[in-house]
Structure 1
Amino acid sequence: MTVHVKCRGGERVNRDHGETCDLCPLGTFNSANVPDQQNCGSCPAGSYTSFLGSTVCIPCPADTYSDYAGAHVCTPCPVNKRSASGSDDESDCKCDIGFVRLSDGSCRPCSLDRQ
């Protein structure tokens, strides 16, 4: 006799037993409306989930980014740089207002001295 288990959103069928459900791991999710709940999907780059059993991924907050799928945290932009919410690459972090980009990629304050 085959036992079919319907898991709730944020869960997947236990791979060892098949008769119980496990919470989706960090960095993954499973929508409450997904009929095949054998697997949890990885959060795409630019988003994350930092808790077990997530049903959705959260866009990375402004001034952070995530450049890989399955993130459970977003990486802060380097010093004096900012990015929009949902950024998926460090190159999305641009120099803040009042700063200029140097050849090494860092940002320094604009000079007011025009001698």
Structure 2
Amino acid sequence: MDTEKHYSEMNENELRSEVANLMEKARKAEQMGMISEYAVHQRKATLVQSYLVDPATIKPGEMYRIEGDDGVFFQVDYLKGLFAWGYRLGGEKAEEALPLAMLKNIKSGK
């Protein structure tokens, strides 16, 4: 019987392979017009990519760009697991959690 590994147990190559597999599934779902399935695979790929992010590179109190949401910035308050908790600037300051892979350093440019 084939037992699936948890993402936390995978090495970098396995994680990258899983991301590629999920992106391919998302592409196929999009081609078939299955928008909900496309979104599920995209989100899952983002979570898997978060395992590849070193949490030490995300600093509480710092501001980050949000991948896929141009012109929107996210203020990180704290980290918990694969998520950064904080709020979007210019919004209602409602606390939310974003996967680490969605955050891009402002200093590195677009």
TM class, shorter-chain normalised?
under 0.3
Question: Which structure's CA Rg is the greater one?
Answer: 1
TM-score, L = length of structure 2? 0.24
From the two aligned structures, give the one with the greater helix fraction. Answer: 2
Larger RCO, structure (CA 8 Å, separation 6 or more): 2
